[in-house]
Structure 1
Amino acid sequence: MIFYQASKLSFSITILFLIFQPNSFNAEINKCHGSCKTSNFSISLPYPFGFSAGCPIQLNCTDAGVTIGKFVVLNITSADIVIKLPAKCDREVASISVLFGENYALSSATSLLLQNCSKPLSGPCEIRPMFIEASLKLNSCASRSDNMSCFNGVAGEKLLSFDEINNSQCRFLFSATTIVARNSSVSLDLERVNLGWWHKGECNCDQNANCTKVMKGNSTVMGYRCSCKEGYEGDGFKEGGGCRRVPRCNFHHYMYGKCGGRGSERVVVPVAIGGVCLGFGLLFLIHKQYQFLVHKRLKKKFFESNGGLLLQQQISSDQGNIGKTKIFTLKELETATDHFNENRVLGKGGQGTVFQGKLVDRRIVAVKRSKLVDKDKIKEFVNEIVILSQIDHRNVVKLVGCCLETQVPLLVYEFVPNGTLFQYLHNQNSDQFPLTWEMRVRIASEAAGAISYLHSVASILIYHRDIKSTNILLDDKYRAKVSDFGTSKTIAIDQSHVTTLVYGTMGYLDPEYFQTSQFTEKSDVYSFGVVLAELLTGKSPVSLERSGEDRSLATYFVVSMEQDQLFDIIDVRLLDNCCSSEIIAVAGVAKKCLSLNGKDRPTMKEVAMELEKVQQLRKNMNAQHNSEEEIEYFGELDLLEISPI
């Protein structure tokens, strides 16, 4: 009875509290809770994402993970929500309506793979549906593979519309592909959907954040996103956590309480602790000596496991130029690169990071630290070093040496100072030093000659497998240097192709290789054709600004030529200083290189010869022009009358 009375009193107090505290109660309901904890995982999301009704972008917290409807969220970035869209043969198109909300919609980087369409859609798929089905092991869909289409949205739109998808007159949604930018390269991910997201309303960001308006079309503002400025971290929204300065704490600040916790109160260290510190100092020295011995043994272990003994044997045999290859110690390269300082980074890519270094003989070099290497392929790696050492061509980056005392071997190349061809064609400041037509033809001719050398003249035939404008470097005189042989394959003289896992960069990848996994010399030719198209148009190999199949520069270029619209897509920076006949000649070579059937493509030797002809024609024209100017000048002298004094 007493318990009942107490409970009744407690209930009455609770009711009174709710009556007299309505604002506090409503504030709690409207608060955004970003934490999700289940038996399988625990996660905390930044504002405006969360799991309560008070969150602008409300997601679901389930045992399967964070979801939107039944679709699992793989990742959330500063601009996208990445969704898993598993391939399924008979999924209704309407099932993805849940991915179009007030604060998010499908990004134009995503192409939906639709089936049983009663009318043609905006464009074909970037890759063949049968290959997708084979990759995803869904043979049950094979009977409908020819009836698969890609929905790419409207050209220029950054967001897709569900009404347009629903009105496509397609019955089933099989899966999706999404173009993903990674550093300087672009890849195509299967079973992935990107949703662009935004916060509704006008910009309401922290004072230390930047505001980005999200547009649909040219006029409709969907909302905004906040991002903290450099030196700050957080979600950037005033309603969320805002931005806070990134802490820069050092030992001095910590000892004087300036890193939080105890304010500015000084930490007093008694003199009596000095003896203890001395003891710890001795232990520290012993520990350092032990670390030195362990480190020394580890370096020796890495050297041997990385094939150092095999490489030394190759060098001592003095085969070709291999004797010129130096095996560096780790200490030498740490000194050269200031311990691999981030300030020395020249570039990062799929194969690893490249640092600028300065050797003791004052030579400037590029040190490449690759990603983890399969230990079963160490012998192959050593062979690659031997092969690269034997390449002797003025337009191929020279291998100076290597270091085998690390878990992942380091390669040391000659330093090429003027960056990549990609930078001069596509970066925002490329107009400050535009490449003239004469320079572009020369660079193309030099690069073609180098690849032709690898294919047919070098002591061992080599397929590069990743020809692109970022792998064509420019030296101090803007001469081409083909680089990055991390994925190259050596070929026997009587071998026509090599079967490998598909590797390459989207936009440059040979469609035939993508479908068959058989890489031939003509696959390098296709990639070089894309580089020629870049040189002619100044456009990127893949662009989201173009719709459908035109996203690929290769397709866009070939279609423009077939429609007699070549000069509509030529880089405007070239029109004032080049000859139309030369442009047509180079464009003809590029078109042949981009043939879908490898047998219809020329060899790199034929490509190099054609480009050399164009270059020689230009030299002859310049010589003729200079000769005509001289004749005109001396002719004017003959006509002058010398008056008597």
Structure 2
Amino acid sequence: MTASGGGDLPEMSTKTSFFGLKLFIFIAILFAIGIVIVLIFIFLCFRRNSKKHGSVVKKHSSGTIPLVSKDINVVKHKPRDLSEIEDVVEPKKNEILEMKVEIGRRGKKSEGECSDVSYGGCSETTSLSVEDPNIGWGRWYSMKEVEFATRGFAQENVIGEGGYGIVYRGVLQDGNVVAVKNLFNNKGQAEKEFKVEVEAIGKVRHKNLVRLVGYCAEGAKRMLVYEYIDNGNLEQWLHGDVGSVSPLTWDIRMRIAISTAKGLAYLHEGLEPKVVHRDIKSSNILLDKNWNAKVSDFGLAKLLGSEKTHVTTRVMGTFGYVSPEYASTGMLNERSDVYSFGVLLMEIITGRSPIDYSKPPGEMNLVDWFKGMVASRRGDELVDPLIEVQPSPRSLKRALLVCLRCIDLDVIKRPKMGQIVHMLEADDFPFRSELRTMREKDQVPSHADIYSKVPYPSKHADPVEKSRWR
């Protein structure tokens, strides 16, 4: 073979045994493959480092939020007799819901278009279209708006991840900060959770419940847009690396417990049909910069009409928080949430997880260990050692009593959430200020006389006024 182009070397133009390619072409291919491999290696290293650095701490208004990297076991099984399973949401409600949230269906706007966006004042017969951004239960966002807010669902914007979706921090075009929950579309789960959350809290406005701002539904994608809570969740502050002294003082912990109870009381007693959350746990309690709690994640919620005492459904929830009667029978009502709240309150008091396999055998189950310690009159040893200033004996005894009443195996004996608010807020009653005024007038009753009048509601007590927990 003769060399072409004056300067070419003859040996470089010779054919090789590899597919009959010329030598210089073969070398060029090897060189290109080498470059591609190096680039892939650099990309993987960079991505791994960015994930590592991005998962250490997240900044917020109070400093840094400790992250908890542990698996949460979720209970997902069915009762033995599947024929007994009922769906809580009635067919009529499902029809209304599908009509309100099935954004992809094109249609004409209703002539009497709703003007009250926040509280869902639209008629049930409203026909929706993609062009209508406000459908009565929040705002409809397009996929472009959501992608813009989250910077294309960037990894550095991830603020949470669970079994049903990934939560991103986003900034809307108007500057408002939101949390975008991108639901996993596993066997239709995204569509189901999307409908449940919109129906359960779409119209709800309460200071201790995370507000649903809007949603996005395009194709198979289902996303929920919430208000952004800037101080992490309770699990991070209880079980994360916070140092030798927890920033959650006893008073802050009781504030979190009371505000959580108020949110649940509104779901149970302030709505019709009532909403059973079904997944009360520390990671679903979000905290603002003033340590006020907001209950979040209504993907497992069930609606329970006033005519029903319970509903039989699949057992779902988080291991350690699920009430025993619900776990064994699948019968669910609001008292199941009360049990979960009791476990949550134990977690707040002790700083321990409901199930901790790193503990000795007798302490792995928080409920069993807690009850044993109280029965042995060692309640003062239950307080989280990271709390610098110990609570008063009276405040501690009140909290322990609430825990024990919430986890009573007799469902009927468990208090309602409104009563729990009343019990936890007992120190907020104006008895001390009244006592101080009466002392100034030299009309001094004893402490025992005053505090004996503090009403601890029993199961027969009158319901607490709604203004106590709104």
| Superposition TM-score, scaled by structure 2 size | 0.64
2:73 to 158, 172, 186: 186
Per the alignment, residue 17 of structure 1 pairs with: none
Aligned counterpart, 2:103: 308
2:73 partner letter = V
Q: Which residue number in structure 1 is paired with residue 205 of structure 2?
A: 392
* 1:214-260: CA deviation from partner (whole Å, max 9, x where unpaired): xxxxxxxxxxxxxxxxxxxxxxxxxxxxxxxxxxxxxxxxxxxxxxx
Q: Indicate the SS of the match to 2:306.
A: coil
Amino acid at match of 2:316: Y
Distance 2:190 2:256 in 1: 34
State the Cα distance separating 1:573 from its structure 2 match.
3.5
Which position in structure 1 is the counterpart of 2:178?
Answer: 365
Asked if structure 2 preserves the Cα contact closer than 8 Å seen for 1:534 and 1:540, the reply is yes
Aligned to 1:289: none
Q: Alpha-carbon deviation of 1:420?
A: 0.5
Higher radius of gyration, 1 or 2: 1
Q: Which residue of 1 aligns with 2:365?
A: 552
CA distance change for structure 1 residues 310 and 456 in 2, over 3 Å: closer, same or farther?
farther
* TM-superposed deviation, 1:598: 1.6
Other structure's SS at 2:226 match: strand
Question: What secondary structure, in the 3-state scheme, does the structure 1 residue paired with 2:166 have?
Answer: strand
Aligned match of 2:287 = 474
Give the match for residue 534 of structure 1: 347
From the superposition, tell whether residues 390 and 430 of structure 1 become closer, same or farther in structure 2 (CA, over 3 Å).
farther
Aligned residues of 2:138 and 2:214 also touching (Cα < 8 A): yes
1:454 partnered with 2:267: yes
- Inter-CA distance 571–433: structure 2 relative to 1 (3 Å threshold): closer
Equivalent of 2:220, from 396, 407, 410?
A: 407
Structure 2: 5+ residue stretches without partners: 1-67, 78-97, 121-135, 441-470
Q: Closer, same or farther in 2 for the Cα pair 1:504/1:595, shift >3 Å? A: same
- The aligned amino acid for 1:595 is D
SS of residue matched to 2:424? helix
Where 1:503 maps in the other structure, the secondary structure is strand
Change (3 A) 1:419 1:306: same
How much has 1:596 moved relative to structure 2? 2.0
Aligned residue runs from structure 1 range 368-383, under 5 A: 368-372=181-185, 374-375=187-188, 378=191, 381-382=194-195
Supply the AA of the counterpart residue of 1:483: S
Partner of 2:138: 325
Tell me if structure 2 keeps the 8 A contact 1:395–1:479.
yes
Matches within 5 A, 1:238-317: 307-308=102-103, 316-317=113-114
The alignment status of 1:428 with 2:216, answered yes or no, reads: no
Asked if the contact 2:260–2:295 (Cα under 8 Å) also holds between the matched residues in 1, the reply is yes
Give the direction of change, closer, same or farther, for the CA distance of 1:445–1:505 in structure 2 (3 Å limit): same
Question: How is 1:218-229 mapped onto 2 (pairs within 5 angstroms)?
Answer: none
CA deviations 1:406-462 (Å, max 9, x no partner) are: 413100000000000111111112556521111111111111011010001024310
Give the alignment partner of residue 600 of structure 1, picking from 382, 402, 413: 413
Deviations 1:293-329 (A, max 9, x none): xxxxxxxxxx999711679979945587132610000
Q: 2:278, 2:302 within 8 Å by CA — same for their partners in 1? A: yes
Identify if the C-alpha distance between structure 1 residues 622 and 187 changes in structure 2 by more than 3 Å, giving closer, same or farther.
farther
Aligned to 2:53: none
CA distance in 2, matches of 1:358, 1:369: 15
Contact in 2 for aligned 1:585/1:614 (Cα 8 Å)? no
Counterpart amino acid of residue 606 in structure 1: Q
* Partner residue, 1:418: 231
Question: What amino acid does structure 2 have at the position aligned with 1:489?
Answer: K
Mapped partners of 2:343, 2:105: distance in 1: 39
- Candidates 605, 611, 621, aligned match of 2:424: 611
The one of the two structures with greater contact order (alpha-carbon pairs below 8 A, sep at least 6) is: 2
- Please name the residue that 1:251 is paired with: none
Check whether the contact 1:186–1:542 (CA below 8 A) recurs between aligned residues: no
Distance 1:620 1:572, change over 3 A: farther
Separation (CA, whole Å) in 2 of partners of 1:416 and 1:478: 11
- Partners in 2 of 1:571 and 1:561 — Cα distance? 15
Quickly say closer, same or farther: Cα 1:486–1:528, change in 2 above 3 A: same
Q: Distance in 1 between matches of 2:303 and 2:75?
A: 27
Q: For residue 447 of structure 1, give the secondary structure of its aligned residue in structure 2.
A: helix
C-alpha distance 542-399 of structure 1, shift in aligned 2 (>3 A): same
Q: Given the alignment of the two structures, is residue 578 of structure 1 paired with residue 391 of structure 2, yes or no?
A: yes
1:508 aligned partner: 321
Distance in 2, matches of 1:417 and 1:376, equals: 28
1:481–1:434 distance in 2 versus 1, CA, 3 Å: same
Contact 2:182 2:224 in 1 (8 A): yes
Looking at structure 2, the residues matched to 498 and 310 of structure 1 have their Cα atoms a distance apart, in angstroms, of: 32
Distance 1:475 1:553, change over 3 A: same
Q: Give the AA of the match of 1:307.
A: E
CA contact (8 A) 1:345 1:354 kept: yes
Secondary structure, counterpart of 2:73 in structure 1: strand
Structure 1 residue aligned with 2:131: none
CA distance in 1, matches of 2:316, 2:69: 14
Assess if the C-alpha contact under 8 Å between 2:234 and 2:287 holds in 1: yes
Asked if the contact 1:184–1:349 (Cα under 8 Å) also holds between the matched residues in 2, the reply is: no
Residue 368 (structure 2) pairs with residue 566 (structure 1): no
Cα 1:501–1:422 shift into 2, 3 Å? same
Percent identical residues: 34
Would the alpha carbon gap of residues 188 and 412 (structure 1) be closer, same or farther in structure 2, given more than 3 Å must change? closer
CA separation of 1:548 and 1:621: change in aligned 2, threshold 3 A: farther
- Residue 308 of structure 1 aligns to a residue whose secondary structure is coil
- Supply the distance in 2 between the matched residues of 1:510 and 1:458 (Cα, whole angstroms): 23
Cα RMSD for the two superposed structures = 3.3
Size of the aligned set, in residue pairs, is 334
**Structure 1 residues 501 and 481, CA, compared in 2 at 3 Å: closer, same or farther?**
same
2:168 alignment partner, SS class: strand
Q: Over residues 95-144 of structure 1, what are the superposed CA-to-partner deviations in whole Å (9 max), with x where a residue is unaligned?
A: xxxxxxxxxxxxxxxxxxxxxxxxxxxxxxxxxxxxxxxxxxxxxxxxxx
Matched residue SS, 2:202:
helix
Instruction: Tell me which amino acid in the other structure corresponds to 1:362.
Output: G
Go from structure 1 to structure 2 and tell me whether the alpha carbon gap of 1:389 and 1:538 turns closer, same or farther (over 3 Å shift).
Answer: same
Q: Distance in 2 between matches of 1:391 and 1:531?
A: 23
Per-residue CA distance 1:600-637 (angstroms, 9 max, x = gap) = 211111111111213447x9489969x99xxxxxxxxx
Deviation at 1:549, TM superposition (A): 5.6
- Contact 1:351–1:370 (CA under 8 A) maintained in structure 2: yes
Closer, same or farther: CA 380–480 of 1 in aligned 2, 3 Å? closer
Choose between structure 1 and 2: higher strand proportion.
1
* Equivalence map 1:2-401=2 (5 Å): 183-187=70-74, 307-308=102-103, 316-317=113-114, 321-322=119-120, 323=136, 325-372=138-185, 374-375=187-188, 378=191, 381-382=194-195, 384-401=197-214
Tell me the CA shift for residue 520 of structure 1: 1.3
Q: 1:502·1:514 contact (CA, 8 Å) conserved in 2? A: yes
Q: Check 1:402–1:377 CA distance in 2 against 1; reply closer, same or farther (3 A cut).
A: closer
Are residues 546 and 621 of structure 1, via their aligned partners in 2, closer, same or farther at CA, if it must alter by over 3 Å? Answer: farther
**What are the superposed Cα offsets for residues 466-522 of structure 1, whole Å, 9 maximum, x if unpaired?**
001111111122111110101111111111112111111111111111000111111
